[in-house]
Chains A and B, each alone.
Chain A
Amino acid sequence: MLYRENGQFKTSYAADQQIFPIAQDRWAIIGLLLFAFVAVPLLVDEYMFRAILIPFLILSLAALGVNILVGYCGQITLGAGAFMAVGAYAAYNFNVRIEGMPLLVSLLLGGLTAAVVGIFFGIPSLRVRGLYLAVATLAAQFFTDWVFLRITWFTDDSLSGSVSVSNLQVMGWQINNPLSKYLFCLSFWPSWVGVFWAVKISVLRTGHTARPPRCGDFRHLFSFRGAGRLFRANSRFFSSCGSWRHSSAGHRFRFFMGKFSSGADFNRFGPCRIPGGNRLCTGSWRQKLAVGTFSETRPACQHAEKKMIVLGGGSDVIFLIQKGNAPTGASLVWGSHGK
């Protein structure tokens, strides 16, 4: 590390529990945000926005959803693409079918819908753990794939299952070129990260109760039946939070990339979240600068995409070996250490 926490004393609980307790972190984040909001739009050309930066923002948001489930709650999920799809198509339908529905509201409603579906598919997590649960989440994946392909009402009878919305705007601000789409995606970042940090880590009780099982304190928790029940309720709450996060990534993916297919995008999560370290949400998006851009840009040529997937998969293995235990928080730098 370049700097340490030494000497930065806190005099109140509020100061101790703030999101960035170290001053250097705060300045770094402010600098990064300034860079992203001001410098990048000045420096970058249209291709860079469309091919790399927008997918990067969207998919890293999705990786954060996985991060909540796997990293914090210890529930391995392979069905991220499913909840992206639910959110995406729900937001689309709210937007298209209800006259005068504002974009932001339809995005929120899409998120809520995905959360409800997330709760439904989260039911097995009450009884099942580990690898069994991982496969159970695949059920969501295959089921939603089928639903959106077969029930054409959801896609407004589009033959390919791919839908898009024209005339996107927020309070008069037209979102019609790559720059505005980039800024729109980016504006979700700080808010989401802030909200989830607050919920997850320290501020709310739910954050506390979701964490122990991840940290290996399962047994202590379950020794109190009430606490066990609380945890389970929370794990459902979190699975809905996670799916909300996926969905918010999902509808942006569809709105801005112009197409969406839940199955194909599922493949991209493995490589992008592992190197980031599952237990720290910053990891998942910082790491994407390194790995995500490889595997998530959409090269025109199919063959090139294959190579990208190899890169993603290979880097996943390499990162695992480097740190040993990714799901319990391996990252080159950012995840907290496991056992």
Chain B
Amino acid sequence: MGFFLETLISGLMAGMLYSLVALGFVLIFKASGVFNFAQGAMVLFAALAMARFAEWLPAWLGVEASYLATAAAFVVAGALMFVVAWLVERLVLRHLVNQDGATLLMATLGISYVLEGVGSSLFGNDIYKIDVGMPKDPVFILDSIFEGGLLINKEDFIAALIATVLVGLLTLFFQKTTTGRALRAVADDHQAAQSIGIPLNRIWVIVWCVAGVVALVAGVIWGSKLGVQFSLTTVAMRALPVVILGGLTSVPGAIVGGLIIGVGEKVSEVYLGPLVGGGIEIWFAYQLALVVLLFRPQGLFGEKIIDRV
């Protein structure tokens, strides 16, 4: 029982991180109708920038590497993501107003190749470390109830906490502020939103900035855990089934979906994995999403697609 709970908790915490990236997808989709395939590349790009600037900034300024330098690197990387957002709007989205979803998807596919290539040209191809002072040591809790206590990874716990706070903030921003409402209007219909005076271009820059920041946070958390390397893009790809499971248009769906996928992955890996040779984490989430789609094509919380004849 104790072991099962451990698996469950670590799954929940991993799931929170998936939710964070999934939220990036959902927000962009809700706000601009773009299914942002470049989210994974953005995570990698942001993490690379953060890791390298944390190395370069102290060297340029001639100061000791410190938390201050790390914070400065975070700010610089954030600014870089703003530039990326601005460029994406300027060079790509502006020219694709009112196109259908598939076109925009293809465009983000292109953006992701460009970001991956440019990122590794600018920042290098190796594995880099990000040190934001996350505690690495595990702790035991609830010794009194279970024999030997439950093993909890402190790093995961803090990461899940950060993700939770960010998810909360973003939900508030998109539901309660005027800008958030403008974003939802744009999502419904580009042309209609434009005609009532919503500045489409500025809105898109905002959305992509938010997605950039989400990518940066996710990249930093994952980067400090696994090291910054190319495989970060595939970790972000695992957030795709989360979105599908939860429904593309639903913020709570992204959160619940993330938790389900996180737990499902860990539990299946531990209990089912040994039977089929292990490593099933890679595809489990996708198969789960596939099965859900067969019964609920719009995901668990998505809006039902109704086509009138």
Contact = CB atoms under 8 A, between A and B. Distances in A.
A130 B307 CA distance: 13
Interface in A267-287: 267, 270-271, 274
A135 B299 CA distance: 12
Given A145-B282, A219-B307, A326-B106, A321 B96 contact: yes
Contacts, number: 152
B107 interface: yes
A69 B294 CA distance: 20
Interface in B95-117: 95-96, 99-103, 105-107, 109-114, 116-117
Contacts of B139: none
A184 to B, nearest CB: 31
B290 A327 contact: no
Given A124-B290, A132-B299, A327-B102, A138 B114 contact: no
A222 interface: yes
Contacts of A321: 92, 95-96
Nearest to A147: B283
A136 B290 contact: yes
B107 A320 contact: yes
B102 A76 contact: yes
Interface string B266-308: 0000000000111110110011011001100111000001011
A218 B280 CA distance: 37
B116 A306 contact: yes
A313 B111 CA distance: 6
A135 B106 contact: no
Contacts of B102: 70, 76, 130-131, 327-328
Contact of B240 (A129, A135, A307): A135
A316 B38 CA distance: 14
A306 B48 CA distance: 16
B287 A143 contact: yes
B145 interface: no
B5 interface: no
Interface in A101-148: 123-124, 127-132, 134-136, 138-139, 142-143, 145-146
Contacts of A132: 244, 248, 293, 297-299
B190 to A, nearest CB: 13
A149 B280 CA distance: 11
Given A135-B241, A218-B307, A314 B110 contact: yes
Contact of A316 (B35, B113, B309): B113
A223 B309 contact: yes
A129 to B, nearest CB: 8
Given A124-B290, A138-B240, A270 B117 contact: no
A12 interface: no
B125 interface: yes
A297 interface: no
Contacts of A206: none
Contact of A317 (B110, B118, B290): B110
A149 B99 CA distance: 39
Interface residues of A, number: 48
B144 interface: no
Contacts of B307: 218-219, 222
A317 B111 contact: yes
B185 interface: no
Nearest to B99: A325
A159 to B, nearest CB: 15
A136 B279 contact: no
Contact of A134 (B99, B105, B283): B105
A207 interface: no
Interface residues of B, number: 51
B38 to A, nearest CB: 10
B293 A307 contact: no
B178 interface: no
A222 B118 CA distance: 45
Contacts of A309: 113, 116-117
A161 interface: no
Interface string A222-243: 1100000000000000000000
B290 to A, nearest CB: 5
A124 B286 CA distance: 12
Given A138-B240, A145-B282, A218-B307, A316 B110 contact: yes
B294 A317 contact: no
A150 interface: yes
Nearest to A223: B309
Residue among A129, A136, A326 facing the most chain B CB atoms (10 A cut-off): A136
A312 B118 CA distance: 12
A324 interface: yes
A292 B129 CA distance: 35
B286 A151 contact: no
A123 B110 CA distance: 28
B107 A127 contact: no
A123 B294 CA distance: 8
A310 B243 CA distance: 27
A124 B294 contact: yes
B229 to A, nearest CB: 14
Nearest to B245: A135
A119 B297 CA distance: 18
Contact of B125 (A145, A267, A302, A325): A302
B120 interface: yes
Contacts of B289: 135-136, 139
Given A135-B286, A307-B121, 15 more contacts: A127-B294, A129-B297, A135-B240, A138-B240, A143-B286, A150-B276, A150-B279, A218-B307, A219-B307, A222-B307, A267-B113, A271-B113, A306-B120, A316-B109, A316-B110
Lowest 5 CB-CB distances: which A-B pairs, in order? A313-B113, A310-B117, A316-B110, A139-B286, A317-B110
8 contacts: A124-B294, A128-B297, A131-B105, A267-B113, A271-B110, A271-B113, A316-B109, A316-B110
